[in-house]
Amino acid sequence: MTDSKGQGQGKGQDKAEDKYPPARAIVLDDSAALALGAGNRMASRFVVEAEKDPTLRVYIPALCLAVAEADRAGVAEHIGSLPSVDITALDFAGASAVGKRLRGLSEEARTDPYEDGWSGTHALHLAMPSVEWPRGRPVLTGYPTRYKGTGVRTIQLER
């Protein structure tokens, strides 16, 4: 294998992008949805890039959007008007997965914004590996500790 300068790489020197190629899709949780609604540059950049390149996808789980709307009126309408953002409904498989995960959480964890709760479990469900996304999808979040120990990649939202 050679690098961009034509130099060979050692067997144990795989690049990070070989293991984790650039994401073609990203999941925004409720904290990222709020940031997008407030004009956060990082969150907005993902949406703008998806506008330019139809192979890039931005997903916002419906439960994350509901939590964001409860926190700030009008954010759902704003995000819903963005053509490159896919608001993903909670289907049967998702409802089952979210319910099972919630069953394992304490009552306090279900409502704590720093824990996964309802919106975090929906984001987690979308981020997990699937037939369509064998490596899963990273989550853009202001609370990466929500997803600790799940195996899901997170991207820390810039403030």
What is the CATH classification number for the domain harbouring 76? 3.40.50.1010
> Could you tell me if residue 18 is inside a domain?
no
> Could you tell me if residue 152 is inside a domain?
yes
> Could you tell me if residue 7 is inside a domain?
no
> Could you tell me if residue 11 is inside a domain?
no
> Could you tell me if residue 105 is inside a domain?
yes
> Could you tell me if residue 2 is inside a domain?
no
Range of the domain at 123: 23-156
- The per-residue pLDDT string of the chain (159 residues; one tens digit each, 9 = 90 and over) reads 344 444 444 444 445 445 556 679 999 999 999 999 999 999 999 999 999 998 999 999 999 999 999 999 999 999 999 999 999 999 999 899 888 888 877 666 555 554 557 788 999 999 999 999 999 999 999 999 989 889 999 999 987
CA-based Rg of the chain, rounded to a whole angstrom?
17
Contact between 34 and 75 (Cβ < 8 Å): yes
What pTM, to 2 d.p., does this model score?
Answer: 0.80
Domain total of the chain: 1
How far is Cα 74 from Cα 140, in angstroms, rounded to an integer? 21
> Could you tell me if residue 13 is inside a domain?
no
